């Protein structure tokens, strides 16, 4: 069984009513790397975990469990459950204690897995773990965590998962500081939070948030639970003071993209960071230009395969810059896509008149940006191939 549902919570309850065994995989569109796996036997949960991300989740849960024993050694050769079982045998942990640990790990994963408002789901029948050491009734598991599930259903409107990376751009430091000064103990969801932003100094927040860490990692540093931190940060993310990136960006950031070079001309550092992250995740190299009036030398020297350009910029607007680039023999054939906050036919016609090939309306989603870049590069490649055939 495979498909897209609005509510994985209802699906789990439906599966629990049937006498089937297998693995329910739940993934979210905001993060391609992340999957929550639930191993189910009839109306019982055997184990639940996150697949595709780093160990920061375990780092935090180990801290909360207050275990003096080192973390299990995870590898690609063994499943996560097998590594946990080997760890239990190696350190001679009692089965009673080990079952408690498995239950805590599974409960935390279960909250995240079933609290998404929209998710892709896949059920693989007869997929199981061995040995089965816990068989907790799903109904009994859900009842005590229902409040957390409902809370995360709201938080997921802005925060895809605790694996999401949070980042404070330098241009937003003043906004953050002002927000910190007026912070209260109640959050934007109307829930009383045991701590406020002022529990930690501005300097501590700035030091942490500039590193682009996951929510799990920040929670470990501050020694707070994920829902408590998420409640604090939700209004900052909602007001775009803090930026959020998928967990996959951490893995991609460590790689050196080798794909075509894309130039992004925009005076906004926030837009530059977002475009750079999205495109590098897809394997492109990115040339970021925040001063459009002096970009010609850089563009001629680097020879990008595509230029993304904002319309509304100081000193020289996108229409003027596009017309200027079309007069350069080095850049006249490079595809140009205009960013605009307007969606009128006059703006589109004006963009075409100055030589732009296409446009994207802000705010630009990840999917639309990647789709547009691939389409323009393919179209340009086909055009060059046709010219070669003519020659």
Q: Check pLDDT > 80 for residue 320.
A: yes
pLDDT-above-70 percentage for the chain = 90
Counting the structural domains of the chain, the total is 3
Is the pLDDT at 251 greater than 70, yes or no? no
Instruction: State which of 227, 245, 263 marks the end of a domain.
Output: 245
Least confident of 8-12, 122-126, 259-263: 8-12
pLDDT in tens, 275-295: 888 888 788 999 999 888 788
Instruction: Specify the pLDDT at position 391.
Output: 47
Are 38 and 143 found together in one domain?
yes
Please indicate, yes or no, whether residues 259 and 335 belong to a single structural domain of this protein. Answer: yes
Phi, psi of 338, deg, nearest 5 = -95, 135
Segment 7-31 mean pLDDT:
82
Q: Is the pLDDT of residue 126 over 70?
A: yes
Residues 179 and 264 in one domain: no
Domain that holds residue 379: 255-390
Of 129, 155, 181, which residue sits at a domain end? 155
- pLDDT, greater one: 89 or 259: 89
**For residue 227, what pLDDT band results from cuts at 50, 70 and 90?**
very high
Q: Which residue has the higher pLDDT, 67 or 309?
A: 309
pLDDT of residue 99: 96
* Mean pLDDT, residues 202-229: 94
CB 232 within 8 A of CB 197: yes
pLDDT at site 389: 46
Residue 81 belongs to a domain: yes
Highest mean pLDDT among 67-76, 186-195, 343-352: 67-76
Q: Domain ends where: 126, 155, 184?
A: 155
Q: Are residues 59 and 138 in the same domain?
A: yes
Q: Say if residue 211 is in the same domain as residue 261.
A: no
Q: Alpha carbon 39 to chain centroid distance?
A: 25
- Rounded mean pLDDT of the chain? 86
Per-residue pLDDT, 203: 92
Judge if 9 and 150 occupy the same domain.
yes
* 236 and 110 in a common domain: no
Question: Per-residue pLDDT for 61 more than 80?
Answer: yes
- Examine the domain organization and report whether 148 and 172 are in the same domain: no
188 vs 372 pLDDT, higher one: 372
pLDDT at residue 116 greater than cutoff 50: yes
d(CA 275, CA 286): 8
Residue 79 CA to residue 310 CA, distance in Å, equals 46
Phi, psi dihedral angles at 352 (to 5 degrees): -70, -35
For residue range 171-183, list pLDDT tens digits in order. 899 999 999 998 7
Tell me, yes or no, whether 99 lies in a domain: yes
| Tokens encoding 169 | 């751009």
How far is the C-alpha of 9 from the C-alpha of 41, rounded, in Å? 17
Averaged pLDDT, 136-144: 90
With 60 as the cut, is the pLDDT of residue 119 above it? yes
The pTM for the full model equals 0.66
* 160 falls within a domain: no
């Amino acid at each position: 069984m495979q498909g897209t549902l609005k509510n994985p919570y209802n699906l789990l309850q439906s599966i629990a009513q049937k006498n089937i065994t297998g693995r329910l995989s739940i993934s979210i569109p905001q993060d391609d790397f992340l999957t929550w796996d639930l191993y189910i036997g009839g109306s019982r949960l055997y184990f639940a975990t996150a697949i595709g991300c780093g160990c920061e989740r375990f780092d935090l849960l180990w801290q909360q469990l207050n275990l003096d024993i080192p973390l299990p050694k995870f590898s690609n050769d063994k499943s996560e459950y097998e590594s946990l079982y080997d760890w239990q045998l190696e350190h001679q942990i009692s089965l009673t204690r080990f079952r408690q640990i498995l239950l805590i790990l599974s409960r935390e994963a279960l909250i995240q897995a079933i609290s998404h408002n929209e998710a892709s789901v896949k059920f693989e029948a007869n997929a199981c773990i061995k040995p089965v050491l816990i068989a907790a009734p799903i109904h009994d598991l859900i009842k005590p965590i229902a409040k957390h599930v409902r809370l995360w259903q709201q938080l997921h409107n802005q925060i895809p998962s605790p694996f999401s990376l949070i980042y404070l751009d330098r241009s937003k430091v003043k906004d953050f500081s002002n927000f910190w000064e007026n912070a209260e103990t109640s959050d934007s969801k109307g829930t009383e939070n045991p701590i406020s932003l002022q529990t930690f100094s501005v300097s501590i927040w700035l030091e942490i948030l500039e590193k682009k860490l996951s929510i799990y990692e920040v929670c470990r540093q501050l020694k707070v639970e994920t829902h408590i931190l998420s409640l604090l940060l939700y209004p900052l993310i909602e007001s775009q003071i803090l930026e959020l990136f998928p967990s996959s960006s951490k893995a991609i950031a460590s790689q050196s993209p080798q794909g075509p070079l894309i130039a992004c001309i925009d005076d906004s550092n926030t837009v530059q960071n977002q475009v750079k992250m999205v495109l590098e995740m897809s394997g492109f190299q990115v040339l970021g230009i925040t001063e459009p009036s002096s970009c010609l030398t850089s563009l001629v020297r680097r020879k990008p395969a595509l230029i993304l350009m904002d319309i509304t910029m100081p000193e020289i607007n996108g229409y003027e810059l596009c017309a200027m680039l079309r007069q350069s023999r080095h850049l006249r054939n490079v595809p140009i896509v205009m960013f605009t906050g307007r969606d009128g036919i006059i703006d589109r016609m004006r963009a075409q008149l100055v030589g732009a090939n296409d446009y994207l309306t802000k705010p630009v989603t990840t999917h639309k940006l990647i789709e547009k870049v691939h389409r323009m590069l393919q179209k340009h490649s086909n055009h060059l191939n046709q010219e070669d055939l003519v020659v």
